[in-house]
Amino acid sequence: LNRSLLASTELKRAATEHELIYQVKQVYHQLNYLMNAHDFLMQQDSLYDGVAKAATLRYQAGESHLLERTTAETQRNETRNLITRNEAEQIAVRNQLAVLMNSAMLPAIAKLGEDLHAPVTEPSPAAIKNNPSMAFARQQIEIASSQKRMEAARAAPEIIIGYFNQT
């Protein structure tokens, strides 16, 4: 039982390490997505800025109505609000990554390409067998069955059979 508990502790450590690596990857990819979205929003902002300037000039020249200018400015301001929200989310995700990495300063984050999604494949039986979380669960089952056998042995009556021969 003690060996099982020791193995269980080691497997739990491996599972925790595996989970931490997974979380760091997830947060890193989320940060990368936010950085790419920021670039896209900046491009969109420059487009809407040009549209708003053109609508303002057309309104001042009397070629359009106030509604066109107001709509263009509203779209530009909406994009700027999205940029502000994106920047706030980036700060929150950077802080989350710093906590996960247990570091006050983060290394420079390089942008990955737009296509971050790998094709989804069925995990192989070997990958499932070697997964630390699965190994930890199997070890927990083994510990529970050992404890059950020990309790059953403890609850059983003690029978002492002796033989005494007097010749």
* CB of 25 closer than 8 Å to CB of 33: no
* CB of 30 closer than 8 Å to CB of 82: no
Name which residue leads in pLDDT, 150 or 95: 95
Rounded to an integer, what distance in angstroms lies between the CA atom of residue 34 and that of residue 94? Answer: 11
pTM score, whole prediction: 0.63
How far is CA 125 from its chain centroid?
Answer: 24
Residue 165: pLDDT band with limits 50, 70, 90: confident
Instruction: Give the chain's mean pLDDT.
Output: 82
* CB of 34 closer than 8 Å to CB of 84: no
For 18-41, give one letter per residue: b (16+ CB within 10 A) or e: eeeeeeeeebbebbbebbeebeeb
Residue 17: pLDDT band with limits 50, 70, 90: confident
* 58-89 confidence digits (pLDDT tens): 999 988 888 888 999 999 999 999 999 999 99
Residue 147: pLDDT band with limits 50, 70, 90: confident
Rounded to an integer, what distance in angstroms lies between the CA atom of residue 146 and that of residue 143? Answer: 5
Name which residue leads in pLDDT, 124 or 88: 88
